[in-house]
Chains A and B, each alone.
Chain A
Amino acid sequence: MSDTNGERSATIAVLVDNEAGVLARVIGLFSGRGYNIDSLTVAPVDEDRSRSRITVVTWGTDLVIEQIKAQLGRLVPIHKVADLSAEGPHVARELALIKVAGRGEARVEALRIADAFRAKIVDTTIESFVFELTGATEKIDAFLDLMRPLGLAEISRSGVAAIARGTKTII
């Protein structure tokens, strides 16, 4: 995924101490140094909730991505930084909750498309659906494009969670 300026998208996984302010450190680093954030997710991952995993999707030249990794690496509560995009195949998924409001043919069409995308219906009224859709960012983007003329009312997306394929771990 690189474009003509030599910029590429990078999915970076960061293992951090689950402590107050750690997310602010990461976000402050990105804004303070002018790096881009496409999406960011965070949640505790250890059994005792002592550590969290942050997944950041960013973009820049290889040099900028290296800078981002090095800058993250020197934050004190950070255990591990991995550029999943560069370190081999990985799986990246997002979850989206999508509200579509309408009646009649548009409503039926929305339902048909949702079925084709294997979206789940998690809430319904006679004039609305809430779909739950999981998949790669592109899949969710495509689904939203199709819903737009059919009464797309509201979107909540989780941002990307990602993990390396195979036995490799970043822990």
Chain B
Amino acid sequence: MNAEVNHAETPAAGAQVLLRALKEQGVEVIFGYPGGAVLPIYDALFQQNAIRHILVRHEQAAVHAAEGYARSTGRVGCVLVTSGPGATNAVTGLVDALMDSIPLVCLTGQVPTHLIGNDAFQEADTVGITRPATKHNYLVKRSEDLARVVHEAFYVARSGRPGPVVIDLPKDILIKPASYTAAPSEPHRSYRPRTEPDDAQIEKAVALIRGARRPVLYTGGGVINAGPEASALLRELVAETGIPCTNTLMGLGALPASDPHFLGMLGMHGTYEANMAMHGCDVMINIGARFDDRVTGRLNAFSPHSKKIHADIDASNINKVVTVDVAILGDAALVLRALVARIRAENAAPDRSAITAWWRQIDSWREKRSLAFVQPEAPGSIIKPQHAIRRLYELTRQTGRETFITTEVGQHQMWAAQHFGFERPNRWMTSGGLGTMGYGLPAAMGVQVAHPDALVIDIAGEASILMNIQEMGTLAQYRLPVKIFILNNQYMGMVRQWQELMHGSRYSESYSEALPDFVKLAESFHGVGMRATTVEELDPVILEMIKCDRPVIADIAVDQGENVYPMIPSGAAHNEMLLGPDKNRDSAEVTNAGMVLV
């Protein structure tokens, strides 16, 4: 990190040096909110045109917007907030990005260096608070470190397993002159994550794949994060070998939903065939997923008869939850490339007749049609939430427009994951690890900023949407035509579902009294409001929403009693799924041990 300092120039103010470093890092958009400590940065922003600033209405939303921007473009998102409450409001977004491995750099204002530790106005120990909320953080105490730290922060955010990085910037550092340092060309002194997989491990993996009779590919967000090339390679691997493939919530879009090899999502609300394939496989190939508890179900019953291959860019994910037979440390794209190349070179695809027999078994599981639902067609019938998502999917698909989906958190999120088909990576933004209600609207905002002509839809619940509803103001200000598609059942639906299944239908505090009129709410924020309450009203509302070139809230009244199925109850195994009230249950009891799990 001994990049040359350019002494020829007169040093500029810290804030200007900061913006120059951001520009060198390719930043085009910052999502932020001003305040006392960051006024010098806002002053510098005012005097230039290269970087666009999007003014949000709450700092949490700035971070989610940057996440949406990052996830839909593959670039590092950038956030700017002030000291104290600005920084603390950003914390939820930072943890969200940490859990889902989203690359961000968040600039936080700080009181001047001489006041740090004095309980100054709007002072918070931001590096202390955000230390476990970020991949890494910095407090810049010397002007000469400023540019170097910015370059390093972007490097750390995007390298290895991506994540959020905070740079805390005392106000005096932003005002005092600082010298500029260009981004270094030499490697970082200590942080050099390994991306290239070890040949010997690839060989071991290929040997397992060659002998597999019931293999399954289980891929996650790592494949999405490794760039579109990784998804293309996954398609090649699947085509080459015929191996069935399931995606995690974070990994949807890596394999096209229309690919016959796609088993759907796995896990707590995954398809019957995906979970049964995981349970019954003899070789599991995990690429860029982390054996999350939503995926594995009860661990001592998780895929009991399989040899497991786990490729991950983060060594701490390997053998953390599930002990594996072959561990491959590396970037998902490089791992997939190596696997495809070696399987081709050695003609090491699994035995065709074994794969055919395995598919016969999987097809019999598919016949359960675990995502099926019954939508009464008679006019005046109540809308099933699954039907609303299916129609949204089909009608948006017919437009042929580039479509991005974000979600809030809860039942609607799971229905969206189950019923909206994703053909390509980076089109699906949802809060997976942290499960942050209020994520979807600001994330959609960030996506729309990056893709102004695309159709960007936040599939929402009426409870979640209220957690960041203030961002309707941002949509209006920047003319971002985001569509908010609310599945309105007047309940915190997932809470209600758990209360029904596990707490004797005692619906404690999960009913939303006094909901706003979402149509009027949209109008008061200069958007367009629509409503569908019966099945025949649904299609016209969706079509009108898609056509509209302004922000829209479509309030879709759906069946209040509908639950998300299939479901692996807490503490149950993959082969003990609840398929739904009308279907055979392989197992239905929720144990006390399961009750304590979330």
Q: Report if B127 contacts A (CB, 8 A).
A: yes
Q: Report if B6 contacts A (CB, 8 A).
A: no
Stretch at the interface among B128-136, B384-392, B423-431: B128-136
Contact (A71, B316) CB under 8 Å given A20-B139, A76-B156: yes
Of A21, A28, A63, A79, the residue contacting B190 (CB under 8 A) is: A79
B315–A70 CB distance below 8 A: yes
CB distance from A24 to the nearest CB of B (A): 6
Of B136, B137, B318, the residue contacting A70 (CB under 8 A) is: B318
A75 contacts which chain B residues (CB < 8 A)? 136
Interface 0/1 of A1-30, CB less than 8 Å to B? 000000000000000010011001100100
Distance, CA A99 to CA B521, complexed state (A) = 73
Which of chain A's residues 31-77 have a Cβ closer than 8 Å to chain B? Answer: 32, 63, 66-67, 70-71, 73-77
Q: Report if B191 contacts A (CB, 8 A).
A: yes
A25 contacts which chain B residues (CB < 8 A)? 131
> Which of A17, A76, A77, A79 has the largest number of chain B CB atoms within 10 A?
A76
Q: Report if A78 contacts B (CB, 8 A).
A: yes
B131 contacts which chain A residues (CB < 8 A)? 21, 24-25, 28
Q: Report if B319 contacts A (CB, 8 A).
A: yes
A17–B189 CB distance below 8 A: yes
Distance, CA A67 to CA B316, complexed state (A) = 6
> Which of A28, A74, A79 has the largest number of chain B CB atoms within 10 A?
A74
Q: Report if B160 contacts A (CB, 8 A).
A: yes
CB distance from A80 to the nearest CB of B (A): 9
Distance, CA A20 to CA B314, complexed state (A) = 25
Nearest CB in chain A to that of B320: its residue: A67
CB distance from B11 to the nearest CB of A (A): 24
A63–B315 CB distance below 8 A: no
Q: Report if B512 contacts A (CB, 8 A).
A: no
Q: Report if B399 contacts A (CB, 8 A).
A: no
Of B128, B193, B319, the residue contacting A66 (CB under 8 A) is: B319
Interface 0/1 of B153-176, CB less than 8 Å to A? 000100011000000000000000
Nearest CB in chain A to that of B163: its residue: A74
Of A20, A63, A73, A76, the residue contacting B319 (CB under 8 A) is: A63
B315–A73 CB distance below 8 A: yes
B160–A74 CB distance below 8 A: yes
CB distance from A65 to the nearest CB of B (A): 11
Q: Report if B356 contacts A (CB, 8 A).
A: no
Distance, CA A136 to CA B519, complexed state (A) = 73
A76–B191 CB distance below 8 A: yes
Which of chain B's residues 289-330 have a Cβ closer than 8 Å to chain A? Answer: 314-316, 318-320, 323
Distance, CA A128 to CA B314, complexed state (A) = 54
B316–A76 CB distance below 8 A: no
Distance, CA A20 to CA B131, complexed state (A) = 12
Distance, CA A76 to CA B127, complexed state (A) = 15
A78–B315 CB distance below 8 A: no
> Which of A17, A28, A67 has the largest number of chain B CB atoms within 10 A?
A67
Which of chain B's residues 112-157 have a Cβ closer than 8 Å to chain A? Answer: 127-128, 131-132, 135-137, 139, 141, 156
Nearest CB in chain A to that of B191: its residue: A76
Distance, CA A66 to CA B327, complexed state (A) = 13
A67 contacts which chain B residues (CB < 8 A)? 316, 319-320
CB distance from B161 to the nearest CB of A (A): 8
Nearest CB in chain B to that of A73: its residue: B315
> Which of B127, B139, B190 has the largest number of chain A CB atoms within 10 A?
B190
By size class, the interface of chain A is 10 to 19
Nearest CB in chain B to that of A62: its residue: B319
Distance, CA A163 to CA B464, complexed state (A) = 54
Of B127, B132, B137, B314, the residue contacting A74 (CB under 8 A) is: B314
Of B132, B137, B193, B318, the residue contacting A32 (CB under 8 A) is: B132
B319 contacts which chain A residues (CB < 8 A)? 63, 66-67
Nearest CB in chain A to that of B137: its residue: A21
Nearest CB in chain A to that of B141: its residue: A20
> Which of A20, A21, A77 has the largest number of chain B CB atoms within 10 A?
A21
CB distance from A82 to the nearest CB of B (A): 14
B323–A63 CB distance below 8 A: yes
A66 contacts which chain B residues (CB < 8 A)? 319
CB distance from B298 to the nearest CB of A (A): 18
> Which of A25, A70, A71, A77 has the largest number of chain B CB atoms within 10 A?
A70
Interface 0/1 of A92-115, CB less than 8 Å to B? 000000000000000000000000
CB distance from A57 to the nearest CB of B (A): 21
Distance, CA A21 to CA B131, complexed state (A) = 9
A63 contacts which chain B residues (CB < 8 A)? 319, 323
A28–B316 CB distance below 8 A: no
Nearest CB in chain A to that of B159: its residue: A76
Nearest CB in chain A to that of B165: its residue: A76
Distance, CA A24 to CA B137, complexed state (A) = 12
A76–B132 CB distance below 8 A: no
A28–B315 CB distance below 8 A: no
Distance, CA A100 to CA B184, complexed state (A) = 57
A76–B315 CB distance below 8 A: no
A70 contacts which chain B residues (CB < 8 A)? 314-316, 318, 320
B190 contacts which chain A residues (CB < 8 A)? 17, 76-79
Distance, CA A73 to CA B128, complexed state (A) = 20
CB distance from B70 to the nearest CB of A (A): 19
CB distance from A163 to the nearest CB of B (A): 21
CB distance from B346 to the nearest CB of A (A): 31
Distance, CA A28 to CA B131, complexed state (A) = 8
B320 contacts which chain A residues (CB < 8 A)? 67, 70
B137 contacts which chain A residues (CB < 8 A)? 21
B316 contacts which chain A residues (CB < 8 A)? 67, 70-71, 73-74
Distance, CA A73 to CA B242, complexed state (A) = 37
CB distance from A121 to the nearest CB of B (A): 41
With contacts A17-B190, A63-B323 known, what are 9 further pairs, Cβ within 8 A?
Answer: A20-B141, A28-B131, A32-B132, A67-B316, A67-B320, A70-B318, A74-B314, A74-B316, A76-B156
- Top 6 closest pairs, chain A to chain B, by CB: A70-B316, A76-B136, A70-B315, A79-B190, A76-B191, A71-B316
Q: Which residues of B pack against A, CB within 8 Å?
A: 127-128, 131-132, 135-137, 139, 141, 156, 160-161, 189-191, 193, 314-316, 318-320, 323
16 A-B pairs, CB-CB below 8 angstroms? A17-B190, A20-B141, A21-B131, A24-B128, A28-B132, A32-B132, A63-B319, A67-B319, A67-B320, A70-B315, A74-B160, A74-B315, A74-B316, A76-B136, A78-B190, A79-B190
